[in-house]
């Protein structure tokens, strides 16, 4: 039975604080070939791995990433205390530079790097792309830049077409919440298209010219197989270990997809 490839959404986020090195390393140990992380900039322009607009859920402090210097952020712990209590006390908020080191140590893994809208709003497209490129240039061949922001993707495409050397990414991915929103991406020619599972039509093929389809957020192996049969090559999940194990088991059993 053919099964979809899995993307570790913010690392192994079901079991570890999201977007942290422990989450990425656990995803690699679980057999992930693809990981996804979120990127914002500190007040002094250093790219860090962080999803939320505010720091509270991850770090139990007020404020935002873009209002603190990188040095200040380094003093915080990214432990998700609401989920894990003090289990991961001392876990650092990760930088994009640390993602690069992780990729260098795991040459079989590809990273989807999602640029958050709040970073674009506060720093502008040029500064955000420059900062990301400076950190990831040496691993460009294994980094895909993704975003909901069409202007950023357009600027990133222009850089790809005009660059004499590595940029920090080798391909682009558009992210949408509703399948009908895909039409706005045609002129950008993304190599990947990410769509929320709840935003897909209930039946029929899910394909987009020139792009591999990734569906987020999926936790069910049966649903993952059904989406794969409809055209989704990639399934994004917080529970990379559990979903991989379930898919492997269904594959061995030859379980039909209903």
Closest C-alpha among 120, 117, 168 to residue 144: 168
Q: What is the pLDDT of residue 234?
A: 98
Q: What is the pLDDT of residue 176?
A: 98
Parent domain of 230: 5-253
Q: Is the pLDDT of residue 80 over 50?
A: yes
Token output for 19: 């977007």
Q: Is the pLDDT of residue 258 over 70?
A: no
Domain assignment present for 214: yes
Stretch among 5-19, 103-117, 244-258 having the lowest mean pLDDT: 244-258
Domain assignment present for 258: no
- For residue 180, what is the domain's CATH number? 3.20.20.190
- Count of domains observed in the chain: 1
Q: Tell me the per-residue pLDDT of 17-43, one tens digit each, with 9 for 90 and over.
A: 999 999 999 999 999 999 999 999 999
Q: What is the pLDDT of residue 257?
A: 44
Q: What is the pLDDT of residue 255?
A: 53
Place of tokens 């088991």: 249
**Single pTM value for the model:** 0.96
Sequence-distant (6+) residues with CB within 8 A of 250 are 1, 3, 221, 222, 225
Token output for 25: 């390393």
Closest C-alpha among 1, 23, 19 to residue 58: 19
Domain assignment present for 50: yes
More confident residue, 151 or 2: 151
């Amino acid at each position: 039975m053919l099964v979809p490839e899995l993307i570790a959404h913010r690392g192994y986020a079901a079991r570890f604080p999201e977007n942290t090195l422990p989450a990425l390393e656990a995803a690699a140990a679980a057999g992930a070939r693809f990981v996804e992380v979120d990127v914002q900039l500190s007040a002094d322009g250093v790219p860090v791995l962080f999803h939320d607009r505010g720091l509270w859920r991850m770090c139990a402090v007020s404020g935002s990433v873009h209002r603190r210097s990188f040095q200040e952020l380094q003093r915080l712990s990214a432990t998700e205390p609401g989920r894990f209590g003090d289990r991961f006390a001392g876990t650092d908020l990760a930088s994009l530079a640390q993602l690069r080191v992780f990729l260098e140590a795991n040459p079989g893994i590809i990273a989807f790097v999602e640029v958050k809208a709040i970073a674009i709003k506060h720093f502008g497209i040029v500064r955000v792309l420059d900062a990301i490129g400076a950190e990831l240039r040496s691993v460009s061949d294994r980094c895909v830049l993704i975003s909901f922001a069409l202007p950023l993707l357009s600027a990133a495409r222009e850089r790809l077409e005009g660059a004499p050397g590595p940029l920090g990414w080798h391909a682009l991915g558009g992210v949408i919440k509703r399948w009908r929103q895909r039409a706005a991406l045609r002129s950008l020619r993304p190599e990947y298209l990410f769509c929320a599972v709840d935003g897909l039509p209930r039946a029929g093929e899910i394909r987009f010219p020139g792009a591999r389809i990734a569906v987020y957020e999926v936790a069910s192996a049966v649903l993952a197989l059904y989406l794969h049969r409809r055209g989704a090559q990639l399934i994004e999940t917080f529970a990379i270990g559990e979903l991989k194990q379930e898919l492997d088991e269904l594959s061995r059993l030859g379980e039909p997809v209903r």
